[in-house]
Amino acid sequence: MLTIDLAAIAANWRLLKARVGRADCAAVLKADAYGLGASRVGPALAAAGCRHFFVAHIDEALALRPHLPAQATVAVLHGVPPGAEADAAAAGLVPVLNSRPQVDAWRAQAARRGRRLPAILQVDTGMSRLGLSPVEVEALAADPQALDGIDLVLVMSHLACADEPAHPANAAQRERFAAARRRLPAAPASLANSSGIFLGADWHFDLARPGAALYGVAPVPGAANPMRPVVRLQAKVIQTRAIDAGTPVGYGFGWCAPAATRIATVSVGYADGWLRSLSDRGTAWFDGVELPLVGRVSMDTATFDVGALPDGALPPGTLVDLIDARHGVDAVAAQAGTIGYEVLTSLGSRYARHYLGGDELGGIQTAPARDGVPAAMA
């Protein structure tokens, strides 16, 4: 069971908005709001005052659009794939133009429609992933017609090392960003993701684009996490058994009991996003007692040493905690050898999802797992 606290997400957005002072604060809802449900997270953030939303794909944008107020902007980080420009324009989406072909296709679409179309221009400032290179920025600046019919609502770039505050790339990227802006038509600017917000005011520009921090991931790894926890993951005990010293547990006999103990088999596995790298390393919690994961994580189950609990403490159906306020997404990520982002986005659609908060709709709301409609059809 996955419980998602929409009020905590809204509170996290307000905290980030306060951090960026006079700048505005968007929200990144790509990958179904980092696995938590964009159709529920979007309205909760809109109710908190958020007006700018980013997703990765046009399908994500088309699915999210009807859940947001008309005045909200939905920006597509990957831009529009060739041939989908008319659909994107008709839906009122704002593409992030990452390359000269994307710029040219959007200009052509504006000409075809006989009206100006909004767009965001991304420049690459060192990450070598998306956006115009400095040479391409020069070429664009030298072509007076390049942006004809395009309303440049934002110039943006993305930080590669913002989660390492002391990394020299942070200042270098900011300088390159400023240099690119000087060559382009005047437009508001955006550079900071979650971690970038915590680099300081020099990185805030006009609009911040946090994702992970909204969902409770620590924006500055290693430092105290100012964000409110958002996710609680619980799974049911299927059965428990007493085993003798020397008894192997799980695939490959991956673990052998050093002493007699009890094992609980819990209904969570790597198909649920409880990563296989948590084999022999994860933990569950019950009544404040830590229950070590022993043996390999299977597709649908994981086994925990529950010898520290009284016999009978975990009858079948009992819920144990896997992620909660005290043992959050970042702690699980550290055990799994990954980052909180991957833990969140791995949480499969198999869980019953319960939403807390969402007070725009009057108190506690619950909803089924997803909308039940594939994004492409929505």
Ligand X SMILES: *Cc1c(COP(=O)(O)O)cnc(C)c1O
Which active-site residues does the annotation give? 30, 251
Q: Which is nearer to ligand X, 162 or 320 (CB)?
A: 162
Nearest residue to ligand X, by Cβ distance, number only: 211
Largest CA-CA distance found in the chain, in angstroms, rounded: 79
- Alpha-carbon distance 334 to 329, whole Å? 9
End-to-end CA distance of the chain: 26
Q: Which is nearer to ligand X, 142 or 224 (CB)?
A: 224
Q: Which is nearer to ligand X, 158 or 296 (CB)?
A: 158
Point out which residues pair with 284 in neighbouring strands.
Answer: 291
CB count in 10 Å sphere of residue 130 = 19
- Minimal distance, residue 344 CB to ligand X, in Å: 10
- Minimal distance, residue 122 CB to ligand X, in Å: 7
Point out which residues pair with 249 in neighbouring strands.
Answer: 255
Apex 325 CA angle, 319 and 327, nearest 5:
80
Question: 228 vs 7, 11, 216, 237, 243, CA distance in Å?
Answer: 10, 7, 6, 28, 40
With H, G, I as helix, E, B as strand and everything else as coil, classify residue 201.
Answer: helix
- Minimal distance, residue 224 CB to ligand X, in Å: 18
- Minimal distance, residue 213 CB to ligand X, in Å: 6
Q: What phi and psi, each to the nearest 5 degrees, are found at residue 269?
A: -150, -175
Closest CA to 37 of 334, 345, 300: 345
Q: Which is nearer to ligand X, 204 or 209 (CB)?
A: 209
Q: Which is nearer to ligand X, 130 or 150 (CB)?
A: 130
Q: Which is nearer to ligand X, 212 or 329 (CB)?
A: 212
- Minimal distance, residue 198 CB to ligand X, in Å: 10
Spatial contact of 230 and 12, defined as CB atoms under 8 Å apart: yes
Using CB under 6 A, list all residues that contact ligand X. Answer: 28, 30, 77, 158, 193-195, 209-213
Point out which residues pair with 121 in neighbouring strands.
Answer: 97, 155
Give the amino acid at 278.
Answer: L
Q: Which is nearer to ligand X, 210 or 269 (CB)?
A: 210
Apex 41 CA angle, 27 and 131, nearest 5:
30
Provide the 8-state DSSP code for 360. Answer: G
Tokens representing residue 156 in the block: 């943006």
Tokens representing residue 203 in the block: 């990185």
Length of the chain as a residue count: 378
Provide the 8-state DSSP code for 126. Answer: S
- Alpha-carbon distance 110 to 192, whole Å? 29
- Minimal distance, residue 223 CB to ligand X, in Å: 15
